[in-house]
Amino acid sequence: MSRFLRIFRQVTVEPVLFVFMLCTFLKDPVNQQLIFRKTCIQLYNESFCADNFTRKACGKSLSEQENAIQKSSSEWIFYNSVAYSVPSIISSLLLGSWSDKFGRKVAILLPLIGLSIEAISSILNAHFYDASPVYLLYGNILSGIFGGFSTILMALFSYMADITKDKSNRTLRIGLLESMTFVGGATGELISGVLIEKLGFMAPFITILSLITIIIFYILFVLKESYFPNQQSRFFSLDTFHGSLKVWIKHRPQNNRIHLLLLLAVGFFVPILIFTGTDDVLILFVLHRPFCFSSSMIGYFLAVFLVVKGVGVLIGMPVMTRILKLSDTTIVCAGIITNIASTVFMAFTTNTWQAFLAISSAIFSGIPVPAVRAIMSKLVGSDEQGSLFAVLASASSVGTLVASSIFNNIYKVTVSTWPGLCFIVMSCLLLLPLSLMIYFRICIKTPDDHLEVNDADTLIDSEENVA
């Protein structure tokens, strides 16, 4: 009992990420299916779509109409990604460095407020079912202005870096926090299809609005602030942007600046491309022949995908770090290899059981992103964590935008010939971070080797501040 209470007391921002991811992964598949239905209605009519685009009606006689709807839906998904990502890139850069001066809680709250506004917008879009998909853009724009997905990740991981002063424990704690992405996401996707089929498109968004309201009260009245800067700064200034960029151009010992840039450009950005690119095309892929998944089947499929990844992070990372004593770079390599295997398998699937087996083979594919985050956080000082995670958050937004542009366009061009080609492209791109990690492992062993230097610098800075 005492051990359970000790673990419970260590819980801080994990419920926040769990709820946010539950709501995000509940929202995304519902939005994509809503886009598919609205696009069909815009191109044809509601009765035509109801009669022909269900699992029972899926067949070869409507291949031309189906391809037209798939192509148009892919375009609208891309437009929604742009509407969400562009404002969130700016917001996350601003709020990241800002949180290093004023604390983390406000930066956590703002994206939740934005998500609640988007939920209200989506409720209206679901109510006016036959309205154009263009109206979905407004909610995405507003949510992006409030920081969106990237800003809350920045704030939560900065919070975790603040409270894990023991850097040897940081990889595990960040990995466990990252696992909330998969646990919460799997829960959201599991219930998404059931809610659509049983209660319609409005029910998921009402659920999101209710959960976000509860977690906002948790942050306001339960969660404690993690970072208290020594000096006050102006509320907003150009220095907030400069602070986010300075962490990348600052001279560091042992070539750590080069290592940071390589980790950002290849080790972090490419896995983000694959993660978000998969999200963009996977639903359209399983809606297409020969799968023709129903809404509930899509929910189960996506939930299994995230559960598999979550198990890999929750069990795999503690085993690899605590028991096997593997280096961070080796852990990242293991995750990338399983991701490559999964995407290649998915490209050649032709039936339902193969699709489920393909996603099951991605068990460690959720590990690379949190592991690379942990490596990078160990290479900078405690007063740079917010700025570091701000740029990582913005890189996530840019990755979402780039991935949507690349993979939606590939899918749109190849949907009538080989829809799985985009997964082959993903597997080829993953060879880049794999090569980088092998280089680090062989030539540098691991960036952890340089932590003693960085820790000493941080200690000297702290002593000078006290003096």
The per-residue pLDDT for 462 is 29
Q: What residues contact 421, with CB distance under 8 A and at least 6 apart?
A: 347, 410, 414
Q: Give yes or no on whether 10-47+66-225 and 250-442 have one common fold.
A: yes
C-alpha span between 87 and 393 (Å, rounded)? 12
The per-residue pLDDT for 460 is 26
Neighbouring CB atoms inside 10 A of 413's CB total 13
CB 150, CB 84: distance < 8 Å = no
C-alpha span between 402 and 389 (Å, rounded)? 19
The hierarchical CATH code for the domain 10-47+66-225 is: 1.20.1250.20
pLDDT by 10-residue block (mean), the chain, 467 residues: 64 92 94 91 82 57 76 91 88 74 85 96 92 93 90 85 74 78 87 90 96 96 79 52 70 83 93 90 86 86 87 84 86 94 94 94 90 85 76 82 90 88 96 94 60 33 30
**In the structure encoding, which two tokens stand for residue 293, read together?**
């998944």
Domain 250-442 annotated CATH 1.20.1250.20: yes
CB 241, CB 234: distance < 8 Å = no
Q: Where do the structural domains in the chain lie, given as residue ranges?
A: 10-47+66-225, 250-442
The per-residue pLDDT for 61 is 53
C-alpha span between 67 and 354 (Å, rounded)? 23
Which region holds residue 147: left if phi is over 0, alpha if psi is between -120 and 50, else beta? left
C-alpha span between 168 and 448 (Å, rounded)? 9
The per-residue pLDDT for 290 is 84
